[in-house]
Amino acid sequence: MKIDFIEELEWRGILHDIMPGTKEQLAKESTSGYIGFDPTADSLHIGHLTQIMTLLNFQRAGHKPFALVGGATGMVGDPSGKSAERNLLSEEILNHNVACVKKQLEKFLDFGTGNNAAEMVNNYDWFKEFRFLDFIRDVGKHITVNYMMSKDSVQKRLESGLSFTEFTYQLVQGYDFYWLYQNKGCKIQMGGSDQWGNIVTGTELIRRKASGDAFALTTKLITKADGTKFGKSEGGNVWLDPAKTSPYKFYQYWLNVSDEDAANFIKIFTQFSKEEIEGLIAEHATAPHLRKLQQALAKDITIRVHSEADYQTALKASSILFGNSTADDLKSLDENTLLNVFEGVPQVSISKSSYENTATVTDLLSEVTQGIIFPSKGETRKMIQGGGVSINKEKITDANSKPDYSLLSNKYLFVQKGKKNYYLIIVE
């Protein structure tokens, strides 16, 4: 269903700045617009999701989205929001990163064949043959130093130091907009609110160099209710690449956000309608402890970024410690997910030979595991008799039985002692 782009951003609470005339341009005709992504890593992270969802909504509104991946600007580095100059990357690394980023964007945008099919462009393609003398003559002469110095991104770095490379970044980004305006018909550039200065430089260059009208729109920078930075976990960035952040950890990140953040994030990062979201918020309010809002958010975004199968695996993994999972659920987890689930759970390593030669499960859970799980055989037997011990989600009923369990991923045993005490035995 076609939507009104500006109204969509407004009710989802992310519109920040909009240049006069932008709304009228979008209402007048299907418009091409773009957002830039610097490929400084071989994966995007959830900090990029606001801009990805902006492009998705732009396309849903009938407009044509361009995703500009900055193969050239990635070699320079944008000073906006940065306190120090970033490391410059080689062409080979950047090309690899560009290919990875495109693969991730394809999960959100329709790169098909329609009139408003998304396109991906790389500014390295038009900068690689652009000589320095030509650039300062054809681009630099149109923008004054006073204009460039007035930008917040420049002012904030004057005391700590700003290289010429970074100072000229706004000209490079401005030329991107000009090139896309001339060659792809792009009339609007979008981005985070910290990009306003760079975006406006592009509209100014188009006005001065091509006598054209171009427009700008920015979205709010996302913050968490407690003031901590959005997109970070204890382990750093939450990546879209499953090799960097597993689907289980990705799912857990969203599942564990606060109620206030969940009500905000579900508007920004999903395509649920206003009515659906209001219904979810109302349902959540009747029983907050069930975390219905977080569950809906985590499910939707995990499926979109990863897959339905990855979501189901994450769901199974989540229930290992906190739900009524089965032995089959546990056995179905791959080693990486298994270790993610048991991160922080006490672990003890034993040799394979000692495991195979252990006479009873009581010996295994006390002496063989060095008293880490149970300090004595007597305490082990007592809890087994009370029905409080299980291995690999199977309750132990005989304290004298031989521990003949299938090793998870050919290496692990999962021990549950009582309701909330968990251990991982590593057999190697």
Q: What is the pLDDT of residues 380-404, one digit of tens each?
A: 999 999 999 999 999 999 999 999 8
Q: Is the dihedral of CA 257, 263, 269, 270 positive or negative?
A: positive
Q: How confident is the model at residue 83 (pLDDT cuts 50, 70, 90)?
A: very low
411: alpha, beta or left, given left = phi > 0 and alpha = psi -120 to 50? alpha
* 34 in a known ligand binding site: yes
Start-to-end CA distance of the chain, whole Å, equals 56
Which superfamily does 5-219 belong to? HUPs (3.40.50.620)
Residue with tokens 């990635």: 74
Residue intervals in the chain for CATH 1.10.240.10: 232-326
Would the annotation count 253 as a binding residue? no
Q: Which residues, in sequence order, are CB contacts of 165 under 8 Å at separation 6+?
A: 76, 77, 85
Q: Which residue intervals of the chain bear CATH 3.40.50.620?
A: 5-219
Instruction: Work out the pLDDT band at 85, boundaries 50, 70, 90.
Output: very low
The predicted pLDDT at position 297 comes to 98
pLDDT at 141: 74
The answer to the question of whether 169 is labelled as a binding residue is yes
Nearest to 105, CA basis, from 340, 310, 275, 305: 305
pLDDT of 318 reads 86
What pLDDT sits at residue 163? 72
Question: What confidence category does residue 128 fall into, taking pLDDT thresholds of 50, 70 and 90?
Answer: confident
Residue 128: CB atoms within 10 A of its CB come to 11
Class of domain 232-326: mainly alpha
CATH 3.10.290.10 intervals, the chain: 347-427
Closest alpha carbon to 152 in 82, 96, 247, 252: 82
Tell me which fold the domain 347-427 belongs to.
3.10.290
pLDDT digit string (tens) for 10-55? 999 999 999 999 999 999 999 999 999 988 889 999 999 999 999 9
Mean pLDDT of the chain: 89
Could you say which DSSP state residue 236 is in? E
Sequence-ordered alpha helix ranges (H) in 106-221: 124-127, 132-138, 145-149, 152-155, 164-167, 169-184, 196-210
